[in-house]
Amino acid sequence: MGYSDVRETDICEADVVVVGAGSAGAALAARLSEDASRRVLLIEAGQDTAPGEVPADIRNIFPAAYINSDYFWPGLATSFRKGEAPVPFLQPRVMGGGSSVMGMIALRGLPSDFDAWEQMGAPTGVGATCCRPSRP
């Protein structure tokens, strides 16, 4: 059912209403709906995406969807400190939430950080030498 098809009776008849079809909301709704006797309504503010019709920019291996303003709430901004000019505050409104548009990047920690944690009392074995990737 698309967003325009939701009626007040759908909401009233649901046993559970999950608001937001991001990673957590979609997974929660899927798990709850495994019980056939439970009526689950998943509400998402973004466009309805039918199975197999995920837009190409979201399917892209690079975070191409990140630059598509259609996937974000318009006009949101915040300031990091009092008196600073507001900057855009990106909040996705799309099936899959931020996981659909943000991509995934992994950065290795600095060796000096690992050593400092160990020197501050972290368990032995978390220093930079111990945390290096193993090589065959």
The pLDDT value given to residue 106: 67
Contact 65, 55 (CB under 8 A): yes
Classify residue 63 by burial, with Cβ atoms within 10 Å: 0-12, 13-18, 19+: middle
Which residue, among 40, 52, 43, has the nearest Cα to 93 in the 3D structure?
A: 43
Question: pLDDT at residue 121 above 90?
Answer: no
Question: pLDDT at residue 113 above 50?
Answer: yes
Per-residue pLDDT, averaged over 5-12, amounts to 74
For the chain, the maximum distance between any two Cα atoms, rounded to a whole number of angstroms, is 61
Give me the phi and psi of 44, to 5 degrees please: -130, 135
pLDDT tens for 27-45 read 999 999 999 999 999 999 8
Report the DSSP pairing between strands 16-19 and 40-43. parallel
pTM for the full predicted model: 0.63
Residue with tokens 């975070």: 63
Using CA atoms, how far residue 34 sits from 51, 58, 90, in Å, is 18, 27, 32
